Structure 1
Amino acid sequence: MRLRDLATSRITRPIALGAGIVLLASACSGGAESGIEKLIEQQGGGDVDLDLDADGGFSIQTEEGGMSIDEDGNFVITGEDGEVITGNADGDGNFNIESDEGTITGSGEDGDFNIESDEGSFTVSSGSDMPSEWPSDVPEPENYTITTSSVIGTGDDLLIGLVGNTSQSGADFVESYGEDLVSAGFEQASSFESEGSVLRVFTNGSWNVSVGVFEGPEGEPQVTVNLVREN
Structure 2
Amino acid sequence: MRIRTTTAVTIASALLLLPACGRKAAENAMEQQIRQETGGDADVDMNADGSMQVTTKDGTYNAGNNQLPEDWPTDAPIYAGAKIQFSGSANGTTGKPGSAAVLTTSDSAADVVTYYKAELAKQGWTISSTMEAQGTSIFGATKGTRALSLLIGSAEGQTSITIGIGEQ
What TM-score comes out, normalization by structure 2 length? 0.68
Partner residue, 1:108: 44
**Are residue 204 (structure 1) and residue 143 (structure 2) matched?**
yes
How far did residue 125 of structure 1 move?
Answer: 2.1
Partner residue, 1:96: 35
- Matched-pair identity in %: 20
Cα pair 2:82 2:105 within 8 Å, conserved: yes
Q: Which runs of 5+ in 2 are unaligned?
A: 15-24, 47-51
How far did residue 106 of structure 1 move?
Answer: 3.9
* Runs of 4+ off more than 6 Å: none
**Are residue 180 (structure 1) and residue 119 (structure 2) matched?**
yes
Structure whose residues are more often helix by fraction: 2
- Provide closer, same or farther for how the CA distance between residues 170 and 91 of structure 1 changes in structure 2, counting only shifts above 3 A: farther
Partner residue, 2:75: 137
Q: Name the aligned partner's letter for residue 182 of structure 1.
A: A
Partner residue, 1:153: 91
After superposition, give the CA deviation of every residue in 1:73-105 in whole Å (9 maximum; x if it has no partner).
9xxxxxxxxxxxxxxxx9533131478xxx544
Q: Name the aligned partner's letter for residue 115 of structure 2.
A: S
- Provide closer, same or farther for how the CA distance between residues 207 and 105 of structure 1 changes in structure 2, counting only shifts above 3 A: closer
Cα pair 2:88 2:100 within 8 Å, conserved: yes
Cα pair 1:171 1:198 within 8 Å, conserved: no
How far did residue 138 of structure 1 move?
Answer: 3.0
Structure whose residues are more often strand by fraction: 1
After superposition, give the CA deviation of every residue in 1:194-220 in whole Å (9 maximum; x if it has no partner).
11211111111232122211222x242
- Provide closer, same or farther for how the CA distance between residues 193 and 105 of structure 1 changes in structure 2, counting only shifts above 3 A: same
SS at 2:74's partner residue? coil
How far did residue 191 of structure 1 move?
Answer: 0.7
Partner residue, 2:130: 191
